[in-house]
Structure 1
Amino acid sequence: MSFVDKSMQVLHEAGYKYTKKRADMLNVFDQEGDYFLNAKEIQQRLETQYPGISFDTIYRNLKLFEEYHFLETSEISGEMVFRKHCNPNMGHHHHFICMNCGKTQAIQSCPVSFFQDQLPGCQIINHTIELQGLCADCQV
């Protein structure tokens, strides 16, 4: 079952109705894969199918998708950005995010054990590590 179909099924089982707009919005993220998008970019991709689609509609659905863990969020230059949630089979990892194009790259190593060694008597329960910069293509 596709990402869009699975997501729509979860929403249906939670009592949300199927809307083509929701499915098409999820499809944008499915097609973009490793890229973070802001609300304006989502609006631009859907504008031809849904002229005049409002930011309220977009943000409401983005928050719903985030709540059900279909999307993950970040902040780049003070703006919320969204992308399709990582494949759970990847295991624990972190991300490098290009601040220009939004492309992400997985980082498989995790430095938390170093920090744990620096904090005797403390227990790290959760962490998020995200590196931001320019990818090789955007540095050219």
Structure 2
Amino acid sequence: MNPIANISQQFAAQNYKLTPQREAIVKVLLDNEEEHLSVEEVYMRVKTSYPHLGLATVYRTLELLCELHIVEKMNFGDGVARYDLRDDHAHMHHHLICNVCGRLEEIKEDWLLELERRLEVEYGFKVTDHRLDFKGTYKTCKQNGCKADKQKQAVS
């Protein structure tokens, strides 16, 4: 089943309609899946198809998508809410976030399954979802950052 049809079914199951405006917002998220767009970025991209669509509609639609567990609202420490489509997988993917350049990379593998099994056996706690963000610095950024720091010190 294609993603739009699947999302339309999720809407219908909760007695909502996937209106053309909502569908346009979903398509923007699907087309930019790896970018983790903010509300404003979604708004700017959807305005090309629906110039009369208001920012408030985008906010409301994204919140509804969160309530329906179609997207996950995330904050990567920069104070901006970003939206990430949930996969058909049982768990969210994980992220590598560079402190220097801000690059965000996804890890689709779930390395925590064994830990989840142990939590269930040892503590009687069944994990239904998790999210893990790794913050650090890529080797290339660290090398370039050191050069940039040396240049700043030489100028000072």
Counterpart of 2:10 in 1: which secondary structure?
helix
Change (3 A) 1:31 1:94: closer
Task: Give the aligned partner of residue 39 of structure 1.
Answer: 39
Task: Give the aligned partner of residue 94 of structure 2.
Answer: 95
One-letter identity of the residue aligned with 2:49:
Q
CA distance in 2, matches of 1:68, 1:93: 15
TM-score by length of 1: 0.72
Question: What is the percent sequence identity of the aligned residues?
Answer: 19
Deviation, 1:107, is 4.4
Establish whether residue 110 from structure 1 lines up as the match of residue 109 from structure 2.
no
Higher percent of residues as helix = 2
Deviation, 1:40, is 1.0
Counterpart of 1:128 in 2: which secondary structure?
coil
Task: Give the aligned partner of residue 82 of structure 1.
Answer: 83
CA distance in 1, matches of 2:107, 2:8: 27
Task: Give the aligned partner of residue 10 of structure 2.
Answer: 10
Q: How many residues are matched?
A: 133
Deviation, 1:112, is 7.9
Aligned residues: CA RMSD: 3.2
CA distance in 2, matches of 1:112, 1:131: 18
CA distance in 2, matches of 1:30, 1:98: 21
Deviation, 1:5, is 1.4
TM-score by length of 2: 0.66
Give 5+ residue unaligned stretches, structure 1: none
Deviation, 1:79, is 1.6
Deviation, 1:134, is 7.0
CA distance in 2, matches of 1:10, 1:93: 18
Give 5+ residue unaligned stretches, structure 2: 145-156
For residues 34-60 of structure 1, the C-alpha deviation after alignment (integer angstroms, 9 at most, x for no partner) is 331110110111111122532211111
For residues 56-93 of structure 1, the C-alpha deviation after alignment (integer angstroms, 9 at most, x for no partner) is 111111111111111122112122111110232xx556
Task: Give the aligned partner of residue 130 of structure 1.
Answer: 132
Change (3 A) 1:80 1:128: same
Deviation, 1:125, is 5.0
Please say which of residues 92-101 and 57-66 is displaced more in the overlay.
Answer: 92-101
